[in-house]
Structure 1
Amino acid sequence: MFNPPNVMLESPLHAFGLPARAATPAQENRVAMSELPHLGYIVLRGKADDTAFMQGVAGVLGQALPTQPMSVVSTSAGVVLWVSPDEWLLACKRSARDALLAALTTALQDVFAQIVDNSGGLTALRISGPDHLLLLRQLGPYDYESLAVGRCASTVASKTGFTVVRTDTEGVVLVFRRSFADYTWRLLERTARPYRLCITSPAHCADPLFTPLLEIV
């Protein structure tokens, strides 16, 4: 049997050389940005009023899926984002993805549900700093100031779209399509220049929920 060689994961932003440009934010840096690469992303679809579906997922994640619109929930398996009344997105450690997919498939094998691995289609970055809201305000029409901690929302910025996740008061995480990563980064970097942008590492731009999911790849 042919066993394919191990393949190193490559960040969709590798062309920008972000690790080599990373620095520690200083007082003059009003905005800091860091890539959160190589996470696992699992899409869950099912009916919130289906007890078998909800209990099956809870048995794997260790906590029930959120049913309140725009909710963000931290579980033992990762971070769950409410997407719509019948859809959720689980961000997890990449190394845990396969086991979670298998466990969810087993738990929901006789249930009307859908489980999709979208790890290759999404990526994320963290934006923080004293003026991160001013930066976000320039990107699109969404009222970012109204987004409370523990909430997420899907919105647009110029020709791209993303889900903005508020996990603390210091910044946000943007989850977006890998195919738009180049465009999204260029848009953000250009817009952030007046705020003395600092490109930094996840450790210096830490998100309380997403950063613990990162692994050295």
Structure 2
Amino acid sequence: MKFLALAAVAATVIVEVSAHTRVWSIWLSGSDQGAGAGRYILQPPTNNPVKNLTSSDIRCNVNGYSPVATYVSTPAGGIVTTEWYHDYRGDDIIATSHKGPIRSNGGGDIWVKIFHEGSTGHWAVEKLLSNRGKYDIPVPSNLAPGQYILRVEIIALHEADSLYSQDPARGAQFYPSCIQIQVTGSGSRTLPSGVSFPGAYSDSTPGIKWNIYDNNIDQRTYPIPGPAAVNL
């Protein structure tokens, strides 16, 4: 089993329950793969965020430890489109105030970041909302075939001006989701060593504490947590 950590998509959302989110399905080459919970998505039981950086839930969310039955097949160089939702497909998805990055990544130094997007003047989550919950993740074109766990994550920064460890009522909110994919093709590049979850994030990691409401900060300089994305 190989582990891909997609880059964090920074998301800013308002402080309300309606902001919570998780992945409904993925689309491959424009084809909807259907509801993924318990099939190819290691789906958490609720849309609540993970906030404790030391919890194993930061890896694949709550209950995200047991494999599910199906792998969805995608060629190296293809696009995996994740479709997020709040309570039901096609709803409000995630609150508009949850600005932050989107990224994708079991235990050990096995998670390798292949993509991330933060703010270029508009946050990645704003892009997610304008696309009605869909977000494209490129699969490296030279990635060796095999079975992978694709970890996608939204980080909501609306309360990240404080650390969760210092004030459990606040802190950055993490929405990780893990998807089983089968990469096909003739690629030859294997993954380098990666990072561990938990372990990749700490209170001192740049981007874990961040004030999106400070007008003196250029939000385009937001440092997406975790390692740099690899070039395969």
| TM-score (norm: length of structure 1) | 0.23
Specify the structure having the higher radius of gyration (Cα).
1
Q: Which has the higher helix share?
A: 1
